[in-house]
Amino acid sequence: MTDPEELVHVERRGGTAVVTLDSPRTRNALSRALVAQLHAALAAVTRADDVRVVVLTGAGPVFCSGADLKEPRTDAPPALGLPEVLTLILDSPRPVVARVNGAARAGGLGLIAACDLTVGPAAATFGFSEVRIGVAPAMIAVTCLRRMDPRAARELFLTGATFDGVRAREAGLLDRAVPDGELDATVEELVGQLRRGAPGALAATKQLLREVPGPDLAGDFRRMAALSAERFGSAEAAEGIAALLAKRPAAWVSVAP
């Protein structure tokens, strides 16, 4: 019996885990096997004590082409599907950076939108192509509509039109749209900045970014007052304040790449 094909590759670089969709022959399409391997990879690295930041990227010229339309369809949903993968990214206590190496369509845009910070080439192409094949961008709407400008989302979802990285940034899908030669340097800059943050503080900040604003103003203030008190009473805060006063790096600031 042969081993299953590796469709997702994980590389550790110091405190950074790089998770790569590694099926360029299928344009990194979201097959059942790739999604299952991606879920396993993310579940491992987002909870690992020695991982500070996760980078999600693709192999080859395409980041992700969306669902694998050549794969036979079945009525039974897979045990682990795209919703579980997107939830892992959203709930990850570690910041997740999307290094969008090239074009992305449909489900690939859902992956990008789930990440905390997103960088891609200005010249790359993107598209919510679902309506043009008779379906709807249903699953990925959960992440995309949390990030994108509503008016831009309405136009791009309904038309299925192809757009470039500059428009993706204007729409809120990308945080930075850069020239091809600046992609890696920009990602490395963001990763370096993230690794200066305390792990627990970053996790707490990710949580508040999801929860605020809530249903009512008074409730927001109560929850955030409790979070603020918890963080100021934490060991990380004691170390961070001591390091600031002593003009030295905090204990969690790593010099490893």
**Can you spell out the DSSP letters for 234-254?**
SHHHHHHHHHHHHTS--TT--
State the Cα–Cα distance between residues 168 and 178, nearest whole angstrom: 11
In 3D space, the residue among 253, 229, 194 whose CA is nearest the CA of residue 55 turns out to be 194
Are 19 and 41 within 8 A, CB to CB?
yes
Q: Which burial class, exposed, middle or buried, applies to 66 when counting CB atoms under 10 A from its CB (0-12, 13-18, 19+)?
A: buried
For the residues 181-204, what does the mean pLDDT come to? 96
pLDDT at 2: 46
Percent of the chain having pLDDT more than 90? Answer: 88
Chain segment 85-139, per-residue pLDDT in tens: 999 999 999 999 999 999 999 999 999 999 999 999 999 999 999 999 999 999 9
pLDDT at 82: 93
Are 236 and 198 within 8 A, CB to CB?
yes
Chain segment 53-88, per-residue pLDDT in tens: 999 999 999 999 999 888 877 666 666 789 999 999
Higher pLDDT, 173 or 2: 173
In the predicted structure, residue 257 carries a pLDDT above the cut 50: no
Q: Mind telling me the catalytic residues?
A: 130
Q: What average pLDDT does the chain have? A: 93
Residue indicated by tokens 């550790």: 12
Buried b / exposed e along 214-246 (16+ C-beta atoms within 10 A): eeeeeeeeeeeeebeeebeeeebeeebeeeeee
Side-chain half-sphere exposure of 109, counting CA atoms within 13 A: 34
- Report how many helices (DSSP H) and strands (DSSP E) the chain contains, helices first: 10, 10
Are 51 and 256 within 8 A, CB to CB?
no
State the Cα–Cα distance between residues 206 and 203, nearest whole angstrom: 5
CATH of domain 8-194: 3.90.226.10
- CA 190 vs. chain centroid, Å, equals 13
Chain segment 6-20, per-residue pLDDT in tens: 999 999 988 999 999
State the Cα–Cα distance between residues 227 and 208, nearest whole angstrom: 9
Instruction: Break the chain into its structural domains and give their ranges.
Output: 8-194, 199-246
